[in-house]
Amino acid sequence: MQSTALAGGAGLPSAPRQSRASVKTDPWAIVQTGRWFQGLPPELAGQLRALARPLHLAAGQWLFRRGDPPCGLYAVARGALTISGTAALGEQTRTALLALVEAPMWLGEIALFDEAARTHDAYASTACLLLHVPHQPLRDWLAEHPQYWQHLALLLTDKLRASLIALEEQTVLPAPQRLAHRLVQMAQSYDQWTEGQCSRRELAVSQEQLARMLGLSRQTTNQILLELQQAGWLQLRRSKLEVLDLAGLRTAAHQGLPGIATPRK
């Protein structure tokens, strides 16, 4: 792909390269701990493993762009992907950061169903190891085993529920609670870990990324994060956050912090 300029002046990520190079740890050891994969029938889980190939992305490389044809299903084994959308407003271009996708999450299932073009951009915000299940071989297998489509549909319904909850929060919750709730979600990999597993302590997200995901100003985001840090619930670090007290963040998500004002943006 040709490299042009992202909003803010950074170069566009380059195209990904498929790699079969060995890795220090089995990527399936991480992916198979996810709630969705653990709930699959053995035959479907085995077929996904048989079709999947490792895909390595360097930080900044595209996985796919809006308008690209369907290319398959992906599981994140290591690193983080950014899902974003870009719109032209006159002579300016604005980019909305919609989500960060981390292990053991899956993505790409929408195009698996409708075979339409990709609706958003996905690129590696850090170095990533993905497991890529090619589009057509998976659809061919599902055509012979249609009883397993329902299990793929659960990926869609899970994300639809999360999207509706996020829309509700955007409308009714003040900024501090929205931000705290998003941090709790990220620490728990958006509830994709199976019950009883440890939560994520380090979140590979910057203050700017959080602000863009939640539609808040950088100033408001910084103010709230500093208050959460002063409460002893997280530690701000360079381009990431360390969760010190997940229970405290849950309290902030549900009740807010008395010392924080309630800005909307």
Q: Does 118 lie in the same domain as 25?
A: yes
Question: What mean pLDDT do residues 90-102 have?
Answer: 79
User: Is 70 exceeded by the pLDDT of residue 10?
Assistant: no
In a domain, 167, yes or no: no
C-beta pairs of 166-174 under 8 Å, 24+ apart in sequence: 170/214, 170/215, 174/256, 174/262, 174/263, 174/264
Weakest-pLDDT range from 82-91, 184-193, 230-239: 184-193
The answer to the question of residue 198 being in a domain is yes
Sign of dihedral through CA atoms 84, 243, 107, 2?
positive
Q: Read off the pLDDT of residues 217-262 as tens digits, 9 standing for 90 and up.
A: 999 999 999 999 999 999 998 888 899 998 899 888 888 776 554 4
Contact criterion met (CB below 8 Å) for 63 and 16: yes
* Residues 186 and 242 sit within 8 Å (Cβ to Cβ): no
Residue 39: pLDDT over 90: yes
First-to-last C-alpha distance (Å) of the chain: 36
> Do 155 and 46 fall into the same domain?
yes
DSSP assignment string, 109-163 = HHHHHH-PPPSSEEEESS-EEEEEEEHHHHHHHHHH-GGGHHHHHHHHHHHHHHH
Tell me the percentage of the chain whose pLDDT exceeds 90: 48
Residue range 164-184: mean pLDDT, rounded: 86
Can you tell me the mean pLDDT for 40-68?
96
pTM: 0.76
pLDDT tens digits, one per residue of 115-149? 999 999 999 999 999 999 999 999 999 999 999 99
Domain count for the chain, please give it. Answer: 2
DSSP state, 253?
Answer: H
Do 138 and 109 share a structural domain? Answer: yes
- The residue out of 162, 186, 204 marking a domain boundary is 162
- 196 and 241, same domain (yes or no): yes
User: What is the distance between the alpha carbons of residues 54 and 37, in angstroms, rounded to a whole number?
Assistant: 17
Residue 204 lies in a domain: yes
Q: Do the strands 240-243 and 202-203 form a parallel or antiparallel pair, or are they unpaired?
A: antiparallel
At residue 186 the predicted structure's pLDDT band, cuts being 50, 70 and 90, is confident
Average pLDDT score, the chain: 83
Looking at the fold, whether 158 and 178 belong to one and the same domain comes out as no
Residues 118 and 199 in one domain: no
Q: Take residue 225 and report the two structure tokens written for it.
A: 């994060």
Q: What's the domain range around 240?
A: 174-255
What pLDDT is recorded for position 116?
95
156 plus 201 within the same structural domain: no
Shared domain for 125 and 198, answered yes or no, is: no
pLDDT confidence tier of residue 113, bands split at 50, 70 and 90 = very high
Q: Where residue 101 sits, what CATH number does that domain have?
A: 2.60.120.10
